[in-house]
Amino acid sequence: MAAAVALARGLRSARCRGVFLARLASVAQQGLCQRAAVVAAPATAWGQQPHTASGVALATRGWHRTYSTPPVEAWESLRQSFSTIDVDVASNGVAVLTIDRPQALNALNSKVMSEIVSACLYLDRNHATAKVIIITGSGDKAFAAGADIKELASVSYADAYHGSMLNGWETLRSVRKPLIAAVNGYALGGGCELAMMCDIILASERAQFGQPEITLGVIPGMGGTQRLPRAVGRSRAMELILTGDFIKAEEAVRIGLASRAVPHDQLMEEAHKVAAKIATHSVPAVAKAKECVAVSQEVSLGEGLRFEKREFWSCFALEDQKEGMAAFVQKRPPVWSHK
C-alpha cells in the first residue's frame, strides 16, 4: 500500500513538472514565433505589421538579448521612419516613447501600434544604451483614448479575425526591459490595455482609466478582460467592463491598477526618477526579476516558486552577481558589465 502511494505521488509530481515545463516551452515558443512573425509577415491594409526598415530585423534575433551597440545608422533610420510616435534615449539609459497624435487624443490605429511594437522591440533587443522604456502620450489630455474608431468602424469579421493588428500587439509581452506607463490623461479602451501591458503605471492626477468598449457594442480585445481582473480583482473588473465607467487616478491607485498618482506637472519627472533608478541596476538581473513577476500572473504559486528558484540560482552564472556581492563586501558601488 505504501509503495502504491509513493508511486502515485511520484507520478503526480512528475506529471506536474511535465505540465509546467511544457507550459513554459509553449510560452517561449509562442514568443519566438510571434517575434519572427513581426518581421517576416507582410503588412496588410488593416493592422500593419511593425516596420521592416533597415536594421529592424535585428529586433527578433532569438530569445537572448545581445548587448553590443547596433549601428547608429540602423537606429536613426528606424527612428526617423516613425510618423506617429517620437522616441528619445538619454545617456542614463532612459528611453521615452511618446504617442504623437494629440489631435486624435493619441488614439491607437494600426500604424501607431505597429510603430510602438517596432520601437520597443528594437530598444529591447538591440539598443545597448536603453535600459528602461517610458511610454506616454503627447499633449495634456490623453495617454491614449482608445483604439481609432474611424479605422475600426469599417472592419469586417474576416478582417478582424485574420488581421495582424492585435497579433503583433501581443509581442510587447516579449520585451524584457522594464516598461513604465506615464499616464498623463485619458487611458481608455486600448489605452488602458496598453498601460496594463507595462510593468509600472504612474498616473497624473488628471488621468482617467476605463474600458468603455461595451458602449460601442464590442468587448475589450487587447487584453482588458484578462489583465484587468488580475490587477484589480474579478468583481471590480467586471463592473468597469460591463458599465463602461471611467475611474480617476486616485481610484486606480486604491484598487491596484496604478502604482501611484502624482501632480500633473510632475508626472514625467517622477517617471524619469523611477526609470533612472532601475537603469542603475544590472540589466540581466532586472530582466530576470521582471520575468519572474510576469510568470506569477500565468501559473500556480507552486510553479511560480519553482520558476523563481531556478532564475535565482541562474543569477550565479552572471558576472554581475560576482561584482554585486564583491562590491557589497568591499563597501563600494558596483560596476556592472550587464553580463
Report the DSSP beta bridge partners of residue 86: 98
Q: Residue 78 contacts by C-beta under 8 Å, 6 or more apart in sequence? A: 51, 53, 54, 55, 56, 118, 119, 122
Catalytic residue check, 239: no
Location of C-alpha cell 561584482 = 323
Active site residue 137: no
**How far, CA to CA in Å, does 255 sit from each of 129, 188, 203, 235, 252?**
35, 17, 13, 11, 5
Catalytic residue among 93, 190, 210, 223: 190
What letter would DSSP give residue 41?
Answer: S
**Nearby residues of 111 by Cβ (< 8 Å), 6 or more positions away:** 48, 83, 84
C-alpha cell at 132: 528602461
- From the candidates 47, 95, 187, 213, give the one annotated as an active-site residue: 213
**Distances in whole angstroms, Cα of residue 218 to Cα of each of 6, 149, 187, 221, 225:** 52, 12, 18, 9, 12
DSSP H helical ranges for the chain: 2-40, 72-81, 110-126, 149-152, 157-162, 165-169, 190-197, 224-232, 234-243, 249-254, 267-279, 283-296, 301-314, 319-329
Task: Mark whether 115 is an active-site residue.
Answer: no
Looking only at the bridges linking them, the beta strands covering 94-99 and 85-89 are antiparallel
Catalytic residue among 59, 107, 145, 147: 147
Length of the chain: 339
Q: How far apart are CA 188 and CA 105, in angstroms?
A: 10
Give yes or no: 147 in active site. Answer: yes
Query: Which of 182, 193, 224, 287 is labelled catalytic?
Result: 193
Beta-ladder partners of 95: 89, 133
Q: Is 286 exposed, middle or buried (0-12, 13-18, 19+ CB in 10 A)?
A: buried
Q: What is the largest CA-CA distance in the chain?
A: 74
204: nearest Cα among 151, 248, 257: 248
**Cα separation, 147 vs 213, whole angstroms:** 10
Give me the active site residues, please: 147, 190, 193, 213
